[in-house]
Chain A
Amino acid sequence: MKRFFAIIESPATRTFLLGLVVLSFQTTLFNTLRPLGVVLQVMLLFSCASGVAAGSEAGAVTGFIFGLMYDMVLTAPMGLSAVVFGFAGYMAGGVNAFVHEARWWVKIIAVALSTSTAVLLYPAASLVVGVDGLLGSRIVTVALTCAAFNALLAVPAARIAKWALVKPVRQAIWAE
């Protein structure tokens, strides 16, 4: 029983479960709410928030896992979102390298910047693997809208990500 609880409380399990719940919100609620016709990217939000909450490396791994889960429900090549979200998590985690205790507005800026970068990076990565036609003027609207939304929810998302990654076990597997 003790072992069972240890598994449940481990950051890996928590991250997976969090990803599952966030993905279900992504494919249901946030698939319906489309301001300016843009699908808001909550999976990307939590990838960036993980970086902000637990550092670059934890952000990269969490982003990779979340991206991989996202790829499972998309028809895009598997691994594409994983690499982009992983990069976004790593980039957002970079904020911890510059400041010791990031203020709330620094977190917001970090999440917004990484989100917009990831959104712009995705069509470029698609182009590399042969998926053409995603780069267009609309990408700017998508990047700005997603960045604005993710900035809005950056602080609560960072708290949830921190709970999943570092709170229960001090020696969180990726945070060290």
Chain B
Amino acid sequence: MIVVLLLTSILLVTLDLRDSGFVAGVRDTFGTIFRPVERLTNVVTKPVSNAWRGVLDYGELRKENLALKDLLVKQEGTAIAAAASVREAQELLALNGLPTLAGIDSVTAQIVGQSPSNFSQTFELNRGKSSGIRVGMTVTNGAGLVGKITDATLERSVVMLATDPEYAIAVKVGNCTTPATTAPTTTVPEATTTVAETTTSAAAVPPTGIDGGTTTTLPGETTTTTSTVPPTTTTTTSTTTSTTTTTSTTTTTLPKPTTTTIKGFTPFSTTLPPRPGGVGSQITIPDTGGLVPRETGALEGRGIGRTPIIRFVQASERLGALCEGVPVVTAGGSQSLAPPDLVVGTVARVVNRKGTAGPLLEVDLAANLESLNFVRVLLYQPATEIPR
């Protein structure tokens, strides 16, 4: 009997690994029988699950909620800027006849279940073949790549996460042209706005910046008010009694220079011609000559609690140095699992290896795979996943 069981197991494993239709059919049939039982049990056990979560996760959820609120406020501004950048990038890609994500339809689905195994990292979605979802399609969320569809029935589908050991995808990694310590910066010059309101006499007040503050001198007055304003918004009101002139001066000083580090390109500064009645403004433009080709590699999942890695990356002087913090996007191509330029994450660590093996890059995924709820399935079936 034991030998029969063992041989049956080997047969089933072999059939499944060779994508047998028989095994898929058995799975589908069992799913049809099992689904109502599971739903019923879910209803019965829901109070216990909720109680468990309530007892163990309440404090953590509260902290997380506060942190998320804080993060949301910070992200709102960034998201607007990013949306504008994406729009520009899409326009540029369209102008050059290059493929973009904008032309790919997508389906939004909710995660309704998680793998009951300690080893596989899969989620179940509430959408399936009836919504156009097919095996191999890429799954993303607002942040970036989540995984791919590995199984699809009429109303359900299964997503394998990008951290699963069986997941692999071709990616592009941005290179650093200079070492990370001397990363190029984009500098936005300090802006000062001064509004002067005078009841008896109005005069244009030329602003003069001194140590992040502003000195304001009002002409035709017996008293000079000098105020040094910290990098916040303040209002100074002075009343001069000797000349019976009331002057209200509002001085707004923006925060200190904003420095944004963008790895992957060397910017240079240029000064625009002075505007009428104002000073010249300094802006920073990326130096296209300094852009280096991006290195490609294979992103592979490593299981629960471990960051995915990128293999087959070449470290050469011509391609520039690999450094932490650079963005990782999908490479695309006819054989790739995902369309090009889908955000994956950033390089968390560069592990240099001896010999010709090349460095290993650990990647921090942009999408938080531990708290997924709604995801987007790109209706893009890779050529390699289309059944023959």
What's the least CB distance linking A102 to chain B, in Å?
21
With contact pairs A74-B117, A75-B122, A82-B9 given, residues A25 and B45 touching in the complex (Cβ less than 8 Å): yes
Is A94 an interface position by the 8 A CB rule? no
* Known A27-B38, A60-B2, A82-B12; contact A134-B165, beta-carbon cutoff 8 A: yes
Contact B5 A60 (CB under 8 A): yes
The answer to whether A64 touches B5 (Cβ under 8 A) is yes
CB-based contact A133/B13 at 8 Å: no
Interface residue tally on B, bucketed by range: 35 or more
Is A133 a contact partner of B301 (Cβ separation < 8 A)? yes
> Given contacts A131-B165, A136-B303, is CB(A38)–CB(B118) below 8 Å?
yes
A130: chain B residues within 8 A (beta carbon): 17
User: What 1/0 mask marks residues of chain A from 136 to 169 whose CB sits below 8 Å from any chain B CB?
Assistant: 1010001000100000000000000000000000
Interchain CA distance A133-B116 in the complex, whole Å = 18
Contact present for B34 and A75 (CB under 8 Å): no
Interface assignment of B83: CB less than 8 Å from any CB of chain A? no
A160 CB → nearest B CB, Å: 16
Per the bound structure, the CA–CA distance linking A90 and B303 in Å amounts to: 29
Contact A72/B34 with A27-B113, A129-B17 known, Cβ cut-off 8 Å = yes
| Chain B residues within 8 Å of A27, by CB | 38, 113, 116
Residues of B within 8 A of A119 (CB): 118
Interface pair A86/B9, CB less than 8 Å apart: yes
Among B46-54, B199-207, B246-254, the one that faces the other chain is: B46-54
With a CB–CB cut-off of 8 A, which chain B residues contact A134? 119, 165, 303
B42 closest partner in A (C-beta): A28
Contact of B37 among A24, A80, A132 (CB under 8 A): A24
Chain A residues near B6 (CB-CB < 8 A): 83, 86
Q: Which of B90-130 contact A (CB under 8 A)?
A: 113-120, 122
Residue of B11, B12, B116, B150 near A30 (CB, 8 A) is B116
Question: Do residues A26 and B116 form an inter-chain contact, with CB atoms below 8 A?
Answer: yes
Contacting residues, chain A, for B33 (C-beta < 8 A): 20
Which of B23, B42, B120, B150 is within 8 Å of A78, CB to CB? B23
Chain A interface secondary structure, helix, strand, loop or mixed?
A: helix
Q: Would you call B16 an interface residue if the criterion is a C-beta within 8 Å of the partner chain's C-beta atoms?
A: yes
B residues near A86, Cβ cutoff 8 Å: 2, 5-6, 9
Complex Cα gap A138–B45 (Å): 28
Find chain B residues with CB under 8 A from A77 CB: 12-13, 16-17
A contact residues vs B (CB 8 Å cutoff): 20-21, 23-33, 37-39, 41, 57, 60-61, 64, 68-80, 82-83, 86, 90, 119, 122-123, 126, 129-134, 136, 138, 142, 146, 174
Would you list 19 pairs from A and B whose C-beta atoms are within 8 A, ordered by A residue?
A: A20-B34, A21-B37, A24-B34, A24-B40, A27-B38, A31-B113, A32-B53, A60-B1, A64-B5, A72-B34, A75-B120, A78-B23, A79-B12, A79-B13, A82-B8, A86-B9, A90-B2, A123-B119, A138-B303
